[in-house]
Structure 1
Amino acid sequence: MIDNQAVINFRRLGMLTICAVYFVILVGGIVRASGAGMGCPDWPTCFGQWVPPTEEAQLPPNYHEIYAQRGYQNTQFNPVKTWTEYTNRLVGVSIGFLIFLTAWSSRIFLKGDKPIFYLALTCFFLVGFQGWLGSTVVASNLKPLMITTHMLVALLIVALLIYTIARSQRDFLQQLDVSQLPTKFKTVLVVAMGMTLLQVAMGTQVREAVDVIAHSTDLERQYWRESFPVIFYVHRSFSSLILFTNLWLVWKLYQSVDKSSVLLRAGFGLAGLVVSAILAGVSLDRLGMPPVAQPIHLLMANLIFGMQFFLFICLAYAQKKANA
């Protein structure tokens, strides 16, 4: 018999870890939007130090030549960018500790539901892989493909964590009444998840185009829009389809499930996230690409997929119980 308090502690720790991963995605977005990705041109140290310098005088007089020989041309020390990137690394390290604690606490399921333990352990190894991938991103001098891969692995870690925590309370999820939902609801939900991933992929292409424009022009940010590629307009128009698809899902949840159901609360959360993501995207389009909107837009996209995935898991468990 698994101790109930131990299960509760595991879920709380797991939820904290999920929130921390989303936070590091937000911080990573801030790093990229602020151009601080090379604020620390080496890894795991920063300018050869475990605690970064706060002023250029703390660096060797010839540090420009040192890093130019390592393949990092025009390295300029900027304390704000350096500490922004270093903070991103510290947050990433904290994720490692949290995921280790989550995996360790999941051992209580070894006698009752072994997949929970192995899922948590997989997340732990993925976080280690993500740390190595982060060092590769720095070593590649911020190649767009490496940055995109780094983000997709973070998305995978979150999805596995969500499934792990949801599986630990499947007895509760199996009691959800979904009998009144349309038969095509699950299919539309899967399509919506695919649309979100496609939109994220297009968003990374737009982001890469923005990076190219930022490094190839001296124009102010508000004039960058004139140089955007066609995929930007596809990405922008596709958001309308995503909005209406997700609103349909939320409307059907409102019509078909109990008003106190976790499904409806998740549905309302999903609607709020989609609207927030679109508003952030509109501000990027109409307000001259304000840096503050970029990480918010990225975070909302990741949260949307996470909420859709949670709804999918809930629906799968509820339908499995009903079919049985």
Structure 2
Amino acid sequence: MNEAAIGRFRRIGILALTAVYLVILAGAIVRASEAGMGCPDWPTCFGRWIPPTQESQLPPNYHEIYAHLGYAETNFDPIKTWTEYLNRLVGVACGFLILLTVAFAVPFLKRDPKVFYAALAALLLVLFQGWLGAVVVSSNLHPLMITAHMILALSIAALLIYAVARSQKEAFYRLSSHALSAKLELAVRLALALTLVQVLLGAQVREAVETLARHATTPREFWPLELPWVFYVHRACAFLLLCTNLGLAWQFLRRLPQDHLLFRLNLGLVLLTLLAVATGIGLERFGIPPAIQPLHLLLANLIFGAQFLLLVSLPYFRPRGLEKHAPPA
């Protein structure tokens, strides 16, 4: 297998991964803007493949039609409809890019089958994600279904990160360093586990915010005071996560030269963590503004992705990893 084929796979894999994060961001925008039911049916939108732009384009009795289907308060809003529709288009584009990733991974079947099977697993999860999207709509945006939808997107991103990182392992071997010990890998695992807990706590906080949005009678700036205990646990874990990521990054930064790939990855991780904490503070101080919610969620997912990339690639940067994973001569 030549370097050109490896490079093509890396590029399409990174493009597909970028699309996954765009899907996550688009989904967060839909959720924050309460546009999830902008299209009350799936896969069509108001019975069309391209949704209407004006209410006059719908049947006069469309309220009764959708009330009969279980959506009693369906009111056409062009902004919400097209926000949800564009979210679906981004998801479809992501699916095609992951399909291309699988096609470009075929040459790895002989060289390193795990690369191909990771890409294939990502594609299968995307197909399942499409079905789950229909369930989310049919459940009238049940919070648990939305959270499951988000966790599945996180899993798809992890599979693509693994596939791309493993495809580059020979390049990583050449950057191996004796300064990277097995203890660092354990520290990364702990930090990754803490981030996953924080993401799950954040999902529960978002569910509580959505409940307040439907039922609260107080002004939005007072909503943080009405959130349940999980919000305070989430806030405390944010400080713990900040300290953990800063400590972890310091261990890498003091061991590696500034031009090393892992040095730059850890600098990025520090920046993402600081931004996530800053947006979290903004959410609390300014009454959970919808404009900040999608950015906060995206940053949390990017932190998880950066930590996962660090975890799966670290063995290839250690000399012991070279002995364990190097292909036979």
Contact 1:181 1:252 (8 Å CA) reproduced = no
In structure 1, the partner of 2:161 is 162
Query: TM-score by structure 1 length?
Result: 0.97
Inter-CA distance 219–64: structure 2 relative to 1 (3 Å threshold): farther
Cα separation, 2, equivalents of 1:289 and 1:115: 42
Q: 1:93: which partner in 2?
A: 92
Superposed counterparts of 1:268-279, under 5 Å: 268-279=267-278
Shift of 1:64: 1.0
User: What is aligned with 2:240?
Assistant: 241
Post-superposition offset of 1:243: 0.4
Deviation digits for residues 235-290 of structure 1 (CA, Å, limit 9, x no counterpart): 11111110011001111111111221110100000000001111111110001111
Letter of the 1:228 counterpart: L
What is the CA-CA distance between 1:318 and the residue it aligns to? Answer: 2.5
Q: CA deviation at 1:181?
A: 3.8
Runs of 4+ in 1 over 4 A off after TM superposition: none
Distance 2:67 2:230 in 1: 35
- TM-superposed CA distance for 1:66, in Å, is 0.9
Q: Quick check: 2:176–2:316 contact (8 Å CA) kept in 1? A: no
Q: Counterparts of 1:115 and 1:191 in 2: how far apart (Å)?
A: 25
CA distance in 2, matches of 1:51, 1:232: 39
- Match for 1:100: what amino acid? L
Alignment check: 8 A CA contact 1:180 1:256 kept: yes
Post-superposition Cα deviations, 1:154-195, rounded to whole Å, max 9, x if no partner, equal 000000000000111111122333422455322221111000
Equivalent-residue separation in structure 1 for 2:183 and 2:168 (angstroms): 25
Correspondence 1:321 to 2:321: yes
* Counterpart-to-counterpart distance in 2, 1:270 and 1:153: 22
In the aligned structure 1, how far is the partner of 2:242 from the partner of 2:179?
A: 23
Q: How does 1:173-192 map to 2 (within 5 A)?
A: 173-181=172-180, 183-192=182-191
Residue 229 of structure 2 corresponds to 230
Change (3 A) 1:218 1:55: farther
Q: What TM-score does the superposition give when structure 2 sets the normalisation length?
A: 0.95
Displacement of 1:322 in angstroms is 5.1
The aligned residue for residue 68 of structure 1 is 67
Report if aligned partners of 1:280, 1:296 keep a CA contact under 8 Å in 2.
yes
Q: Distance in 2 between matches of 1:137 and 1:8?
A: 37
**Cα displacement (A) at 1:65:** 1.1
Please identify, of 274-283 and 115-124, the stretch whose mean Cα deviation from structure 2 is larger.
115-124
Point out the more displaced range, 180-189 or 166-175.
180-189
Over 3 Å counting, the alpha-carbon distance change for 1:170 and 1:181 in structure 2 is closer
Q: What is aligned with 1:113?
A: 112
Equivalent positions of 1:191-210 (< 5 A) are 191-210=190-209
**What is the distance in 1 between the residues matched to 2:279 and 2:42?**
32
- Distance (Å, rounded) in 2 between the aligned partners of 1:218 and 1:59: 33
Shift of 1:323: 5.4
Q: Which moved more, 1:170-179 or 1:211-220?
A: 170-179
Alignment RMSD? 1.2
Give the Cα–Cα distance (whole angstroms) in 2 for the partners of residues 231 and 197 of structure 1: 15
Question: Using the alignment, how far apart are the partners of 1:227 and 1:293 within structure 2?
Answer: 19
- Size of the alignment, in residue pairs? 323
Aligned position for 2:260? 261
Residue 219 of structure 1 deviates from its aligned partner by: 3.4
Partner of 2:79: 80
The answer to whether the 8 Å contact 1:158/1:306 transfers is: yes
Partner of 1:37: 36
Structure 1 residue 105, shift from structure 2 partner: 1.0
CA contact (8 A) 1:177 1:257 kept: no
Query: Relative to structure 1, is the Cα distance of residues 303 and 6 closer, same or farther in structure 2, using a 3 angstrom cutoff?
Result: same
Task: Letter of the 1:273 partner, please give it.
Answer: L
- Tell me how far apart the structure 2 counterparts of residues 207 and 292 of structure 1 sit (CA, whole Å): 14
Q: Quick check: 1:177–1:318 contact (8 Å CA) kept in 2?
A: yes
Contact 2:205 2:231 in 1 (8 A): yes
- How big is the shift at 1:69? 1.0
Query: Does the 8 A contact of 1:173 with 1:317 survive in 2?
Result: yes
Query: Which ranges in structure 2 are unaligned for 5 or more consecutive residues?
Result: 325-329
Counterpart CA distance in 2 for 1:135 and 1:226 is: 34
Mapped partners of 1:17, 1:218: distance in 2: 43
1:52-67 equivalence runs, <5 A: 52-67=51-66
CA distance, structure 2, for counterparts of residue 322 and residue 52 of structure 1: 54
Map of 1:172 onto structure 2:
171
Equivalent position amino acid for 1:281 in 2: G
Distance 1:94 1:24 in 2: 9
List per-residue Cα deviations over 1:39-58 (Å, max 9, x = no partner). Answer: 00000000111111111111
CA contact (8 A) 1:221 1:289 kept: yes
Structure 1, unmatched stretches of 5+, are none
Question: In the alignment, residue 293 of structure 2 is paired with which amino acid?
Answer: Q
Other-structure match for 1:282: 281
Does the CA-based 8 Å contact 1:178-1:256 persist in structure 2? no
Paired position in structure 2 for 1:12: 11
Q: Say if 2:166 and 2:313, in contact at 8 Å, map to a contact too.
A: no
Q: Secondary structure at the match of 2:74?
A: coil
